Amino acid sequence: MDARLGDVIDDFCVKCRRLTNHSVVSLLNGAAAKVRCRTCYSDHDYRNEQGPPSKKDLKKAELFNAVLSGVAPPPPATDETAGDAGSKKSVKKSGKRAEA
């Protein structure tokens, strides 16, 4: 649906920091480009009813990425390392049998 100048739509207000009614102030290709909050009368770009992420969420993502960058990926298993592991197990088993 195409918006018209003066239509009332919901959007996230950057000044009020909540979802409020807005009036369409300018259009671009039939869609709202700029809106004016009907509560505080501030003009801003149309945000498609989505607010910015909270600082807490951004900090969590930053810490998560820092932890991931510090962890080394496990080395890929090759046939030689699998053969060595099998021989070690057999050595342990034979040692246990010898003790019993």
Q: Which domain holds residue 44?
A: 8-61
- Report the alpha-carbon distance of residue 51 to residue 31 in Å, rounded: 19
Residue 3 lies in a domain: no
Contact 40, 13 (CB under 8 A): yes
Residue 34 lies in a domain: yes
Residue 66 lies in a domain: no
Residue 44 lies in a domain: yes
Residue 18 lies in a domain: yes
Residue 67 lies in a domain: no
Q: Is the pTM value of this prediction over 0.85? A: no
Residue-averaged pLDDT of the chain = 80
Coil, strand or helix at 41: coil
Coil, strand or helix at 96: helix
pLDDT of 4 reads 87
Residue 70 lies in a domain: no
Pick from 55, 19, 30, 59: nearest CA to 7: 30
pLDDT of 21 reads 92
User: Does residue 24 register a pLDDT over 90?
Assistant: yes
- The number of distinct structural domains making up the chain is 1
pLDDT tens for residues 61-79? 888 888 888 877 777 877 6
DSSP letter for 58, please.
Answer: H
Residue 80 lies in a domain: no
